[in-house]
Chains A and B, each alone.
Chain A
């Protein structure tokens, strides 16, 4: 009779254990169970001892599922018979045993991360996959159509927290999946309204818009999730197109360089030419001064000489003439004197030699 009773209790306990496990809360596996069963097999012990053993086992079992700790990063959501009852906070907590109350711990302080379009393991891997076919998922996540119907590679990260553990647990079936899907559709919405140029250059702006839209979508799905940040990784064009984009960058550089060179040439020439012009003008001014001063000097000299000449015209003229000859003749290297009657002297002179 006792034997049957034991067996039934054991069955019930198993049942309870089974009930309790999806709760994810209290008791962990109860390893004493197997020992307990083995212990009774083939052995007969006094009834008192058996009952004592059972009580100890019950205490262990329920005690384990009645007291639990909540870590500092978590809260516990306690359900009584399935209905939400209360939220418990970090520390040691008490609840009714499994089957009546169940606790689910939610890490509300922890920031979770979802990556899209790349894996942190190796970025080179994702890069090499870009040219592959539609089968590859990592590639497909980041591959997007832009508003001007080009193709861009947009990898990003969503960081999120559980804002409302009640909604997070009870309002949506698979919060992670909802988050992933909404992130993808939101990012495509944002990219779909931008040109390829904007997708490549305006990542900040896109991240902000995506964050705003994703938060709205999550709120309307009642997901209880708070988007902490969306971080855009390096956006790019697909690998086969990349060289042509680099070409454009290079061409931009070349353009800048050409303009820069021309400006340099301009700056080299113009100030120099202005200086040159200034010099020319100064020179002309110098010329003018020189000419005028000299002219004045010459004029004064002439006037002075003339004043004296006026008084003795003939003699002064003769004197000046002879003085001139006196000065000139010693400087002559060859002098020929020809009688006025002698007319054909010129052929004898070797004039060519002189010019040589």
Chain B
């Protein structure tokens, strides 16, 4: 019985020791930072190093905060741009608990932090979008675009998306300092037209495309006409040049012929005329059912009249 009570006493001491040890030791994860409080007051430095740590049991409390990159998803909202186009803007941000003490004192929980971020960032985003024309929130460089139609609202940008995002971050950060929150990044996730605007944009896109289609067709017709015109021109050229050459050749030949005849027949034009006439009579008078009326007065028939004439 005595042995038993000793064993029980030892056991209780071990238990108590274990319990105290369990309460005074705590583990800091790689993703965590810890603030120690004593009766609600912050004691000592924030513990950033992960590992096994100790504190006073019961009196001190270890408050664990995340140290890694946290995500904030903005409220999707309708915001008009400076040029009065209504947009759906969806934003996200990355943040960190930079000062866990401030964080603990001012917002306490993650929910609290998120709701502060909501208030501050949504307002900052709204301000930034409202004070810039639409194109500034869409583009970020003045890269040359392969555009089909030049429009006024797509002119070059002065600020651009990245700088606007940066300006949101810069304007929101001072307000978040008091909560011990550091903004790492703010970016637009989505920027889209609200449905009314979208429909009119669609109409404009359709009109632009139709215009392009007509331009192509017209270009086609123009180019085709040009080619046909070229064809006709070349045809005329080819034909007239051929005519010119042919006529020149023929003319030269005729001249040559004239020369030859003149030289040959010029010896006795009278005889030429006679002999040529004979040939023509022979060949040309005797075609078809030619009727021939001879007069006895002709040299040929004069013998029919009688010989006394000789």
Q: Which residues of A contact B (CB under 8 A)?
A: 1, 5, 8, 79-84, 133-134, 140-141, 143-151, 169-174, 177-178, 181-182, 184-185, 188-189, 192-198, 220-223, 237-238, 240-241, 243-245, 247-248, 250-252, 254-259, 261-263, 265-266, 269-270, 273-274, 276-278, 280-281, 283-285, 287-289, 291-292, 294-296, 298-300, 302-303, 305-306, 309, 317, 320-321, 323-325, 327-329, 331-340, 345-346, 349, 351, 354
Contacts and interface: CB of A to CB of B under 8 A. Distances in A.
B106 interface: no
A287 to B, nearest CB: 5
B304 interface: yes
Given A299-B261, A302-B272, A81 B147 contact: no
B304 to A, nearest CB: 7
B61 interface: no
Contacts of B271: 306, 309
Contacts of B265: 299, 302
Nearest to A274: B238
Interface in B159-197: 161-162, 184-185, 187-195
Contacts of A80: 51-52
Interface of B: 4, 8, 11, 15, 27-32, 49-52, 66, 68-71, 73, 88, 92, 94, 134-135, 138-141, 143, 145-149, 151, 153-154, 161-162, 184-185, 187-195, 198-199, 201-202, 205-206, 209-210, 212-214, 216-217, 219-221, 223-228, 230-231, 234-235, 238-239, 241-243, 245-250, 252-254, 256-257, 260-261, 263-265, 267-268, 271-272, 274-275, 278, 281-282, 285-286, 289-297, 299-301, 304
A201 B249 CA distance: 61
Nearest to A335: B292
A193 to B, nearest CB: 5
Nearest to B256: A292
B264 A324 contact: no
Contacts of B140: 189, 192-193
A82 B256 contact: no
B213 A331 contact: no
Contact of B198 (A151, A258, A287): A151
> When A and B form their complex, which 3 residue pairs have the shortest distance between CB atoms, in order from nearest?
A288-B253, A255-B220, A277-B242
B192 A181 contact: no
A177 to B, nearest CB: 5
B205 A170 contact: no
In this complex, which of A251, A259, A333 has the most chain B Cβ atoms within 10 angstroms of its Cβ?
Answer: A251
B274 A317 contact: yes
A241 B275 contact: no
B50 A287 contact: no
Contacts of B31: 169-170, 173
Given A220-B185, A337-B296, 20 more contacts: A1-B4, A81-B50, A81-B51, A82-B28, A171-B69, A174-B71, A178-B94, A184-B189, A189-B140, A221-B184, A240-B199, A241-B206, A251-B216, A254-B217, A256-B220, A262-B228, A276-B239, A337-B294, A338-B295, A340-B295
Contacts of A354: 289, 291
A284 B69 contact: no
15 contacts: A134-B88, A140-B192, A145-B192, A151-B192, A151-B202, A193-B141, A194-B145, A197-B147, A240-B206, A266-B228, A284-B250, A288-B252, A289-B253, A299-B260, A328-B282
Contacts of A222: 69
A340 B297 contact: yes
A288 B172 CA distance: 100
A241 B209 contact: yes
A195 B292 CA distance: 97
B50 A337 contact: no
A150 B148 CA distance: 11
B126 to A, nearest CB: 18
Contacts of A333: 289-291
B68 A171 contact: yes
Contacts of A223: 69
Contacts of B154: 147-149
A270 B190 contact: no
Contact of A151 (B193, B261, B291, B297): B193
Nearest to A252: B216
B230 A266 contact: yes
A283 B253 CA distance: 12
B227 A349 contact: no
Contacts of B231: 262, 265-266, 269-270
